[in-house]
């Protein structure tokens, strides 16, 4: 019988040499571990942002694998390391194949590998599309909270794009106490908009009194919303008129490539990480190219949370999060520990075979 090993520390009982274990955690297990824990997960994401701001993480540039014969598709590698109480290294490997939607499949799929920071051995592989959506939604809900503290809390929310990410963001807003008098919806696909409306009306997270409206144009949606959520698959800016934001909403620019630089230059801009966000032809990257500098940026979300930067109450506020691998690791480690706690961890026996240096 092999000694019991802790994946988080790589230590074994009775002084024996550690025997690494490796677990596979399914999407169903991930969902079960995360469902209904929106407040706890937003707190985890906030703590991870603070670790990142304090320099207790490693988050190198993401690597984009692109295909000459499939120009709309890509697979992204996000390596990262988180210190503090999370203490885990790892990699998210996430694909974006927009053509999947026409076949009835989600655009994105992903796995997450967790590595023991002591030995470097991977100790778990998790289905990660749910983890990715969760950390994105938790980040958006956290930003919505901090970026609206200097103004009247929005009561009219608008969702520009109505896929999986929009659904998760609404769930996290509702799960952290947000209520809205009206919910606006706009999507190029009438079926997607209808499906999202069905979710809103059937979900217990939606306020019964909320007025749900499908708008005929982006202009209608933006002008009728105090909080605007962009969750599209746009590859280049398509919202170009700064006048649409004359009422100074808070904008969660989650999909990163919807807004023309001219819109950003008329707004107060916050990101999750400056170097990560200003690349890969994101809207902030285009604004940097247009102006030749980064002066249009007001700061990071961590700057707001630590009080280094104040959020203006009389300007449009745009949050553009690139999406940090450290957040995936923090949420993935949370899932692993929760599944282990319930005794449902599925360990692959003898996954590591060559464990003797000389055979």
pLDDT by residue (tens digit) across 121-168? 999 999 999 999 999 999 999 999 999 999 999 999 999 999 999 999
Catalogue all structural domains in the chain, each as residue range(s) with its CATH number: 13-131+326-341 (3.30.1780.10), 139-324 (3.40.50.720)
- Name which of 318, 325, 323 is nearest 148 in CA terms: 318
**Site of tokens 């079926």:** 191
151 CB burial (10 A radius; 0-12, 13-18, 19+): middle
| pTM attached to this predicted model | 0.91
For residues 100 and 186, give the distance between their C-alpha atoms in angstroms, rounded to a whole number: 21
Q: What share of the chain is helix, strand, coil (3-state, %, to 5)?
A: 35, 25, 40
87 CB burial (10 A radius; 0-12, 13-18, 19+): middle
Compute the half-sphere exposure of residue 294: CA atoms within 13 Å on the CB side of its CA: 14
First to last CA, the chain: 20
For residues 39 and 52, give the distance between their C-alpha atoms in angstroms, rounded to a whole number: 20
Query: Considering all CA atoms of the chain, what is the largest pairwise distance in Å, rounded to the nearest integer?
Result: 70
Predicted local distance difference test score (pLDDT) of residue 196: 95
Q: With a cut of 50, list the residues of the chain below it in pLDDT.
A: 1-6, 8-14, 205-207
| Ordered alpha helix ranges (H), 180-320 | 190-202, 218-223, 261-265, 274-277, 283-291, 301-305
Predicted local distance difference test score (pLDDT) of residue 14: 45
CB atoms within 10 A of CB 353: 6
């Amino acid at each position: 019988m092999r000694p019991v090993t802790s994946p988080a520390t790589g230590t074994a009982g009775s002084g024996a040499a550690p025997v690494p274990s490796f677990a596979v955690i399914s999407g169903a297990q991930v969902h079960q571990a995360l469902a209904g824990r929106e407040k706890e997960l937003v707190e985890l994401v906030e703590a991870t942002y603070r670790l990142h701001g304090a320099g207790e993480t490693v988050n190198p540039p993401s690597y984009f694998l692109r295909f000459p014969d499939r120009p709309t598709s890509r697979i992204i590698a996000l390596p990262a390391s988180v210190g503090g109480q999370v203490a885990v290294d790892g990699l998210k490997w996430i694909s974006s194949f927009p053509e999947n939607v026409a076949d009835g499949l989600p655009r994105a799929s992903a796995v997450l590998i967790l590595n023991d920071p002591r030995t470097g051995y991977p100790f778990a592989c998790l289905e990660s599309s749910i983890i990715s959506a969760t950390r994105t939604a938790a980040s958006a809900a956290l930003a919505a909270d901090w970026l609206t503290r200097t103004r009247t809390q929005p009561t009219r929310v608008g969702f520009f794009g109505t896929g999986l990410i929009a659904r998760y963001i609404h769930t996290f807003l509702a799960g952290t106490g947000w209520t809205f008098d009206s919910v606006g919806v706009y999507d190029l696909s009438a079926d997607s908009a209808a499906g999202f409306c069905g979710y809103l009306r059937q979900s217990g997270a939606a306020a019964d009194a909320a007025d749900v409206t499908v708008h005929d144009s982006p202009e209608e949606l933006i002008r009728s919303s105090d909080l605007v959520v962009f969750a599209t698959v746009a590859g280049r800016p398509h919202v170009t008129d700064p006048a649409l934001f004359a009422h100074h909403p808070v904008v969660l620019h989650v999909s990163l490539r919807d807004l023309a630089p001219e819109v950003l230059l008329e707004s107060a801009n916050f990101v999750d990480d400056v170097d990560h966000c200003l690349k890969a032809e994101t809207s902030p990257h285009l604004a940097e190219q247009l102006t030749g500098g980064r002066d249009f940026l007001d700061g990071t979300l961590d700057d707001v949370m630590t009080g280094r930067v104040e959020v203006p109450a009389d300007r449009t506020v745009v949050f553009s999060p690139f999406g940090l691998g450290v957040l995936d690791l923090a949420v993935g480690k949370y899932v692993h520990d929760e599944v282990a706690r319930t005794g449902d961890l599925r360990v692959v026996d003898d996954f590591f075979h060559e464990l003797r240096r000389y055979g």
